[in-house]
């Protein structure tokens, strides 16, 4: 498709982006960490590291990894939440010449075993609270080295010791495990790796832009997770595309501003990781939030230091808005609130604008595109449109029908995407069904692109309902129900209906206990076409969510009864 949308790009945004700067992620890290060496890199639990310090720690880990007998193309696994250890380990794996496979710490033993075996990882870096999960399946994997890090390992001697004692003996958050060195694997600790690596030589590997950098797993909520193959080129290109779109925003900030970016979404999710990559490109400071579900602690952290950028999902913004102490947070330095991972709702967006003066800048991307696809312009206090912005520089969009034909502008179809940021495919899977004949990735998302270049996202193809022959998109119904002043959250699924094929069921969390089904039904009838109105409403205390805050519709479907 002709990139007609570039004509409407905001002033200062270039029409295309090509990577002519870096031949590998190692070069990317080397140059940027040298450039910003004296700046603060990250803070977590009140402890701050500079770029120079992270650089040194990373090199020690790289040297240790290179001494372990791995060869180019081997994968190293990482199972940690957002702690100071996370990024040095990721950078070290890349710099040592190997492939990163980040693992969701909330995985069950079954899910963990699948990822370890699919990548054939032999080394895993893991935070101590998750050793219990690894213990259950390690004998069924090829892991021969386990590096265990305690929560306080990068919090300094005194504070780290206190945090470790509190976690184990007071909060009881460290399940007992029995991992120990045996004939299958060696158990070592993170600090020993640093001490040993400090004495070992490091050799900069020969790497190419096409080399694989990450095997990132996605799509495991309804089946076996797929490993997305992401090259150095994919990650660097996505970073440059983000940077090109946001460059005008940075230029409006005071020249000497040390941008503080809040990283509350877990970095094993590529949305958050790519925001960190964007920040490294421009020398940001990162505030890592280890447990964003602890909203009391999260709000205290936000109140402690001015911050400028925050990426989050709709549910996390909702949690902040409704927190009783949110008025202690000063939002006057905030310039960019990025919303992705799930659809933002009009109600949440308006409340965020009213509270902060900054609009939720909604975008769309997926792991297969390194979280880069579309983004709205950054406009303070802008109105919520429900659109996910325009394709970013260097991204090509095509909306296709079920036969693979491009549909006219403005019509709905499957979003297909091409660009240097797009994955070459999936690990150990036949990829022929995932790409069009002309090389576009078939995303499985239903959308439309308008004449002005803005993209409207309707829903996942698999989530779309067919009610009496009409298409119903859960996101639309959720947006309407969520606007009711007595509704806190809503999720919509389809249930079988003998008369209509499917019927709409809404799971609703109240913000006001007086809300009745009759009141909500009447409201829906005023705001939705009849076939889109929920025929079934179930009030609940909370909605099931993933660790990044996405509502798990598949779990709600299992709860929804079949209608006769």
What is the per-residue DSSP string for 317-331? HHHHHT-TTGGGS--
Report the Cα–Cα distance between both ends of the chain, in Å, rounded: 45
- Residue 184 CB coordination number (10 Å): 11
> Where do the DSSP E strands lie in 401-521?
413-418, 425-426, 441-449, 455-460, 465-467, 470-472, 487-497, 501-510
Kindly give the interhelix angle for 314-321 and 295-304, rounded to the nearest 10 degrees: 80
pTM for the full predicted model: 0.86
What stretch of H or E contains 299?
helix 295-304
Q: Is the dihedral of CA 405, 411, 416, 420 positive or negative?
A: positive
Q: Please, what are the domains in the chain?
A: 4-20+231-394 (3.40.50.980), 25-207 (3.40.50.980), 465-559 (3.30.300.30)
pLDDT at 508 over 80: yes
Banded pLDDT at 220 (limits 50, 70, 90): very low
Predicted pLDDT of residue 380? 56
Predicted pLDDT of residue 53? 98
Between 415 and 558, the more confident residue is 415
Q: What is the mean pLDDT of residues 267-279?
A: 95
Banded pLDDT at 222 (limits 50, 70, 90): very low
The token duo for 401 is 């029908």
Predicted pLDDT of residue 253? 87
Q: What is the mean pLDDT of residues 393-411?
A: 95
By DSSP bridging, strand 413-418 and strand 441-449 are: antiparallel
Predicted pLDDT of residue 223? 53
Nearest to 21 by CA among 244, 314, 300: 244
The token duo for 148 is 């265990």
Classify each residue of 277-286 as buried b or exposed e, where b means 16 or more C-beta atoms within 10 Å of its C-beta: bbbbbbbbbb
Collapse the DSSP code of 407 into the 3-class scheme (helix H, G, I; strand E, B; otherwise coil) and give the result: coil
Q: Is the dihedral of CA 557, 538, 321, 45 positive or negative?
A: negative
Banded pLDDT at 385 (limits 50, 70, 90): confident
Predicted pLDDT of residue 564? 39
Predicted pLDDT of residue 2? 86
Q: How far apart are CA 246 and CA 559, in angstroms?
A: 42
Predicted pLDDT of residue 467? 84
Q: Is the dihedral of CA 103, 273, 489, 513 positive or negative?
A: positive
Mean pLDDT of the chain: 92
Predicted pLDDT of residue 457? 87
Q: How far apart are CA 405 and CA 402, in angstroms?
A: 7
Q: How far apart are CA 371 and CA 239, in angstroms?
A: 10
Banded pLDDT at 313 (limits 50, 70, 90): confident
Nearest 10 degrees: Cα torsion 445, 348, 525, 497: 40
Banded pLDDT at 455 (limits 50, 70, 90): very high
Q: How far apart are CA 80 and CA 146, in angstroms?
A: 13
pLDDT at 381 over 60: no
pLDDT at 204 over 90: yes
CA 302 to chain centroid: 20
* Residues across the chain: 564
Predicted pLDDT of residue 412? 92
Question: Nearest 5 degrees, angle CA 533-CA 538-CA 539?
Answer: 120
The token duo for 531 is 């076939």
Predicted pLDDT of residue 538? 95
Q: What is the mean pLDDT of residues 151-165?
A: 93
What percentage of the chain exceeds 70 in pLDDT? 97
pLDDT at 439 over 70: yes
Whether 96 and 68 have beta carbons less than 8 Å apart is answered as no
pLDDT at 280 over 90: yes
């Amino acid at each position: 498709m002709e990139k007609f949308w570039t004509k409407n790009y905001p002033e200062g945004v270039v029409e295309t982006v090509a990577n002519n700067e870096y031949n590998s992620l190692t070069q990317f890290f080397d140059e940027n960490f040298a450039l910003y060496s004296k700046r603060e890199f990250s803070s977590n639990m009140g402890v701050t590291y500079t770029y120079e310090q992270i650089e040194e720690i990373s090199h020690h880990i790289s040297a240790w990894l290179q001494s372990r007998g791995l060869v180019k193309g081997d994968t190293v696994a990482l199972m940690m939440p957002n702690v100071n250890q996370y990024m040095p380990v990721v950078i070290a794996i890349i710099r040592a010449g190997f492939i990163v496979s980040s693992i969701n710490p909330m995985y069950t033993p079954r899910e963990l075993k699948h990822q370890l075996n699919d990548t054939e990882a032999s080394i895993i870096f893991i935070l101590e609270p998750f050793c219990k999960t690894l213990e259950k399946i390690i004998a069924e994997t090829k892991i021969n080295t386990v590096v265990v890090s305690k929560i306080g390992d990068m919090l300094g001697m005194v504070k780290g010791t206190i945090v470790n004692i509190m976690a184990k003996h007071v909060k009881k958050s460290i399940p007992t495990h029995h991992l120990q060195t045996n004939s299958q694997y060696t158990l070592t600790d993170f600090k020993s790796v640093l001490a040993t690596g400090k004495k070992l030589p490091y050799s900069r590997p020969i790497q190419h832009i096409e080399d694989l950098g990450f095997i990132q797993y996605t799509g495991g909520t309804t089946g076996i997770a797929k490993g997305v193959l992401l090259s150095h080129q994919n990650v660097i290109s996505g970073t440059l595309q983000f940077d090109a779109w946001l460059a005008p925003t940075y230029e409006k900030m005071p020249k000497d501003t040390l941008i503080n970016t809040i990283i509350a979404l877990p970095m094993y999710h590529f949305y958050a990781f790519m925001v960190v990559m964007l920040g490294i490109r421009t020398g940001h400071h990162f505030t890592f939030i280890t447990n964003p579900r602890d909203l009391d602690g999260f709000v205290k952290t936000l109140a402690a230091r001015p911050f400028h950028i925050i990426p989050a999902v709709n549910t996390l913004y909702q949690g902040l808005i409704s927190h009783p102490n949110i008025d202690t947070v000063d939002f006057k330095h905030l310039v960019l609130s990025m919303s992705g991972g799930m659809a933002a709702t009009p109600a949440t967006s308006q409340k965020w604008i009213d509270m902060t003066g900054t609009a939720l800048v909604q975008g769309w991307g997926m792991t297969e595109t390194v979280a880069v696809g579309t983004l709205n312009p950054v406009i303070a206090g802008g109105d919520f449109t429900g659109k996910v912005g325009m394709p970013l520089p260097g991204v090509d969009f095509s909306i296709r029908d079920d036969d693979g034909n491009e549909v006219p502008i403005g019509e709905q179809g499957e979003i297909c995407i091409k660009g240097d940021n797009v994955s070459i495919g999936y690990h150990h899977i036949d990829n022929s069904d995932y790409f069009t004949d002309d090389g576009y990735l078939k995303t499985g998302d239903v959308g439309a692109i308008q004449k002005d270049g803005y993209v409207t996202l309707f829903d996942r193809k698999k989530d779309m309902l067919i009610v009496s022959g009409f298409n119903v998109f859960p996101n639309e119904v959720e947006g309407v129900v969520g606007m009711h002043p007595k509704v806190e959250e809503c999720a919509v699924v389809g249930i079988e209906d003998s008369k209509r094929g499917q019927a709409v069921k809404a799971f609703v969390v109240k913000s006001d206990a007086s809300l009745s089904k009759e009141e909500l039904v009447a409201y829906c009838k005023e705001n939705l076409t009849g076939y889109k109105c929920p025929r079934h409403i179930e009030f609940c205390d909370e909605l099931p969510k993933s660790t990044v805050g996405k509502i798990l519709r598949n779990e709600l479907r299992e709860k929804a009864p079949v209608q006769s």
